[in-house]
Amino acid sequence: MTFAEQFVAEAAEILQQIDTAAVERVAALLAACRAAGGRLFILGVGGSAANASHAVNDFRKICGMEAYAPTDNVSELTARTNDEGWAGVFEGWLKVSRLRAGDALLVFSVGGGNVEKNVSPNLVAAIRYARSVGATVTGIVGRDGGYTAQAADACVIVPTVNAIHVTPHAEAFQAVIWHLLVSHPALKAAETKWESVK
């Protein structure tokens, strides 16, 4: 088997193992957030930050949902990192945004955050803050989901089928799952461009 064949086979296996009930729970929570006039804040680091930016576009344009990614404002992100430390960048951003009950987080992460291992402590702090104000927490994460899976109201864990490829598959399937969400009848509010072209 070539490497490409192996990688594609792993992706197919992951797709078969996705917990679709968890996806439906995330869709229902995000739909309820939108119906109540809540806002969606999408958090991610590294490749997951790039995914967050793309997903914000989709939730706004396709779902008509007010959505933001703190990492889209590089000036504030780097100022907070420089002045206050990396661990608090998302929490500080959410406080200024007046995160409140009725709003929701959607966390994209490979590991989900782990304070003890000092991996994505900013996600953990943001989730704890969201919990303290009564906001909904959802996530799409890899491996065992870390803190996100423990604390979320609903979380989709991308199954690990090859421990060597956890990161590329987790980040790739974040995109598959958020595209599923914005296409979901509970959330989709506008036709996508190519589907509308006759």
Question: Higher confidence at residue 46 or residue 198?
Answer: 46
User: Looking at residues 76-90, what average pLDDT do you find?
Assistant: 94
Residue 160 inside a domain? The answer is yes
Interval 117-139: pLDDT, tens: 888 999 999 999 999 999 999 99
Residue 195 inside a domain? The answer is no
Residue 9 inside a domain? The answer is no
Read out DSSP for 124-175?
HHHHHHHHHHT-EEEEEESTT-HHHHHH-SEEEEPPPS-GGGHHHHHHHHHH
For 145, the domain range is 15-188
Number of domains in the chain: 1
Residue 10 inside a domain? The answer is no
Residue 76 inside a domain? The answer is yes
Output the average pLDDT for the chain: 96
Rounded-to-integer distance, Cα 82 and Cα 146, Å: 26
Q: What's 157's domain CATH number?
A: 3.40.50.10490
Cα torsion angle, 56, 113, 166, 185, sign? negative
CB atoms within 10 A of CB 31: 17
In 84-127, DSSP assigns E strands to 104-109
